[in-house]
Amino acid sequence: MDYLIIGSSAAGVSAVEAIRKIDTEAAITVMTEDQVPLYSRLLLSYFLAGVVNEGNIYFKARDFFEKNNIKVMAGTRADVISVKEKVVTTREGHSVGFNKLLIATGARSRQGRIPGFERHDIFTFDTLKDVKAIEAKLKKTRSAVVIGSGLIGLRATYALNARGIIVKLVESKEGIFPQLLDKKMGSLIEKNIEKKGIEIIKGAAVSEILGEEAVEGVQLTNGKRLDCQLVIISDVLEPNIKLATAAGVMSETGILVDGCFKTSLADIFAAGNAVETKEGGVFNYTWPCALEQGRIAGENMAGRKAVYEALSVINYIEFFGVPVVSIGIVRPSAAGYETEEFSDEAAGVYKKVIMRNGIIKGFLGVGKIAHPEAYRSLIKDNVEIGRIRGSIFKEDFSYAN
């Protein structure tokens, strides 16, 4: 059996581990555009901030592939999937056959849509290569504009601020991290961001990047100009689906998969930020979800039936000292959901429970959350809120309640 994994981040590596545990003899090849695989994208902001060095950003030992007898094609871009022949051709002209294929191509910040994008000193914050390019520019940078206050934008803002750069954060919506947080939740994080001297501009978008050859500033839709020498674009994250769709794999915004991460084509699987699993109409662009998806995909590729339980994955993120916990469906797009909320502004705590027909489907918390695993159990066990309505927001709430 020949397994081919396209992508070497969380989902791809997790799939490799799962396959190797089941099939110790099979040939496994990992094809990745990264020149140096196995680094954690979660740690890129800490690397740029100077908190950790490059040697400490890897989530697996550097000899991981060698010890597990995995062939790695680093710095290689998959160009064409020939479905009938079961062959992937690279941009460099190499051909690799497979019996089972995993597409774990991830997602990237959308580029090129803002006038002036062709100038120098405009970056994304998606890869180690991106971050090293930003690092090389910092000595000549006094101020920067970060476009977008989502997960990547906030991490980039943190890193630049830690390096002494004057940062202005531009968000077209009325609150930060609108993909996850409502305005009240976002305001708890905004206070900590502003304490760092970072200016947040909400409700305005960048209409043009200014300058001759190099960046000199940005023009906003509200008429304001922000001077800067560096721009990071992170407002729209797009799944990398071109390779899959060109091969005939059914996709919408992301690659469509079932609970086993099978695509519409036989023997082709997909996992991680490139996929669309439609749990309540939301995407889960987080490291824990990608790891779990990769594991489930790998087990199914190796012949062991496994089904993804997205509602039981705990996502923990910290922004400027404020922890955020999300579990299950937190921003449903489908009708029929309702919420109950609790806030203690003095303590900096905000909690929200998302329900459908009285059954708990999601939890979102900002600030100190004592027992997040209790909320995961409620969601996993389809608990009706009526039984625990009086205690669910108490500071010492646990599943025993």
221-269 residue pLDDT tens: 999 999 999 999 999 889 999 999 999 999 998 999 999 999 999 999 9
The residue-averaged pLDDT of 114-128 equals 88
Report the C-alpha dihedral over residues 192, 198, 199, 203, rounded to 10 degrees.
-60
Run of H or E including 168: strand 166-171
Highest average pLDDT, of 139-143, 210-214, 387-391, comes from 139-143
The pLDDT tens digits of the residues spanning 29-70 come to 999 999 999 999 999 999 999 999 999 999 999 999 999 999
pLDDT confidence of residue 281: 45
Higher pLDDT, 237 or 163: 163
pLDDT confidence of residue 32: 97
Task: Tell me if 323 sits within 8 A of 317, measured CB to CB.
Answer: yes
Instruction: Record the pTM.
Output: 0.91
Place of tokens 């051909």: 95
SS3 31: strand
Task: Tell me if 44 sits within 8 A of 155, measured CB to CB.
Answer: yes
pLDDT confidence of residue 284: 61
Question: pLDDT grade, residue 400 (50/70/90)?
Answer: low
pLDDT confidence of residue 278: 58
The residue-averaged pLDDT of 375-388 equals 88
pLDDT confidence of residue 399: 65
Question: pLDDT grade, residue 325 (50/70/90)?
Answer: very high
pLDDT confidence of residue 247: 98
pLDDT confidence of residue 371: 86
**Is pLDDT above 70 for 332?**
yes
Question: pLDDT grade, residue 176 (50/70/90)?
Answer: very high
Task: Tell me if 296 sits within 8 A of 307, measured CB to CB.
Answer: yes
**Is pLDDT above 70 for 310?**
no
Higher pLDDT, 161 or 333: 161
pLDDT confidence of residue 401: 57
The residue-averaged pLDDT of 8-14 equals 97
The residue-averaged pLDDT of 213-226 equals 95
Question: pLDDT grade, residue 312 (50/70/90)?
Answer: low
The pLDDT tens digits of the residues spanning 345-354 come to 888 899 999 9
59 token code pair: 């989530």
**Is pLDDT above 60 for 280?**
no
Average pLDDT, the chain: 92
The residue-averaged pLDDT of 338-357 equals 91
Q: For residue 259, count other CB atoms closer than 10 A to its CB.
A: 14
Query: Would you give the DSSP letter of residue 282?
Result: B
Half-sphere exposure of 348 (CA within 13 A, CB side): 11
The residue-averaged pLDDT of 300-307 equals 97
Task: Tell me if 381 sits within 8 A of 312, measured CB to CB.
Answer: no
